[in-house]
Amino acid sequence: MSSGLEDHVRRAWLDIDGRIIFEAVAMKPGKPVGLACVGSAVLLGLPGNSFAALVAFLVVGREVIARLRGRASPRDDLPARAGFALDRRPGRTEFFPARVLGFDPDGTPVIDLLGKGGSARLAPLVAADGLGRIECDRVQVSVGDAVGFLPFEAALRL
């Protein structure tokens, strides 16, 4: 899917009498993710950029699959502490490749943001242990602040 004028997924869904459930999610990357139903089929539209598609699948797609299988929501994300500082614009929950640096005295993982974010950048994923998460209302993250962490080993289980 795309946020731009060249998105043909929406039109294709409508052409086959699809009922669009949603077309965007307030997350970065992966905003242009959609869900539609055609008869008894459920269609998931992922962004065109590789990293954005991975994030959208792990965050939205796994939820859809769990619900279709009659299972509880996959809640594999963990509380973590930021090993980095970041200023950001609020409005979308932000996901980023993250590496575990160590653990605080309580056993909470301390994570580092790997590389500059970008929906098509794959190199930081090679060294990543999972996805870090900053909630949509945050404008600043300081070292030691609470953030979320979705380890790949848990995220890739269905």
The domain tally of the chain equals 2
| Count of CB atoms situated within 10 Å of the CB of 71 | 10
Supply the range of the domain harboring residue 54: 9-68
Rounded distance between C-alpha atoms, residue 16 and residue 120, angstroms: 30
pLDDT at 73: 84
| Interval 44-71: pLDDT, tens | 999 988 899 999 999 999 999 999 999 9
31 with 84, same domain? no
Average pLDDT, the chain: 91
61 with 110, same domain? no
102 conformational bin, left if phi > 0, alpha if psi -120 to 50, beta if neither = left
The DSSP secondary-structure symbol of 74 reads -
50 with 17, same domain? yes
| Interval 89-145: pLDDT, tens | 999 999 999 999 999 999 999 999 997 656 667 888 889 999 999 999 999 999 999
Task: Please list, in sequence order, all residues whose beta carbon lies within 8 angstroms of the beta carbon of residue 12, skipping any fewer than 6 positions away.
Answer: 18
